[in-house]
Amino acid sequence: MLNLFKDYLLINIKMDKDIDDIINENPEPTKDELDTFKNLVSEWFKYDDIIRKLSVALKERKTLQKALNSKIEDFMFKYKYNELNTQNGRNKATMRETHKPLNMKEIKDILENNKELNGEELLIKIFNKNDRPLISKKIIKRIIPKVSLSLDI
C-alpha cells in the first residue's frame, strides 16, 4: 500500500514538473497568437449569443404550435376528420383509450390500506387495470411524404 502511495506521489511530481516546463518554455504568447485567440473568443461569443436567441425563438414557436395543435385537434375530432391531405403533407388524427397510469401515491395508498393481503394479492390489486379509469389520448401526427433521391435507369 505504501509503495502505491509513493508511486502516486512520484507520478504527480513528474506531471507537475512537465506542466512547469511547458509553462516556462512559452511564458507569454506572441502578439499574433494573442490577436488570433481574441478573435476566436469573440467569434465563439457571437455564436453562443446566436444559439441562445435561436433556442428562445424555438421555445416560443413550440408554445404557439401547441396552442394551434389543440385547436386543430378539437376541430378534427369534433367533425371526425381522421386524415387531412395538404400540400405540406398529411395530418393524421388518432384517439386511443388507455388506462390511467399508476403513480407512487396510488401504490402507497393501496399498500397501506391492504395490509392483510399477501404479496401476490397485492400485486394483482396494484396492477389490475379494471380498477383504473380509462382516459382518452388524442394524437395528431404530421406525415411528410418521402422523396426518393435515387435514379432508376
Q: b/e for 86-121, b at 16 or more Cβ within 10 A?
A: eeeeebebeeeeeeeeeeeeeeeebeeeeeeeeeee
Q: Is 116 contained in some domain?
A: yes
Q: Is 4 contained in some domain?
A: no
What residues make up the domain containing 114?
A: 93-143
Residues 74 and 102 in one domain: no
Q: Is 129 contained in some domain?
A: yes
Q: Is 112 contained in some domain?
A: yes
25 confidence band (pLDDT: 50, 70, 90): low
Closest C-alpha among 145, 144, 146, 140 to residue 92: 140
Q: Is 57 contained in some domain?
A: yes
Mean pLDDT of 86-112: 88
Domain boundary among 60, 81, 102: 81
Is the pLDDT at 132 greater than 60? The verdict is: yes
Cα(19)–Cα(5) distance, integer angstroms: 21
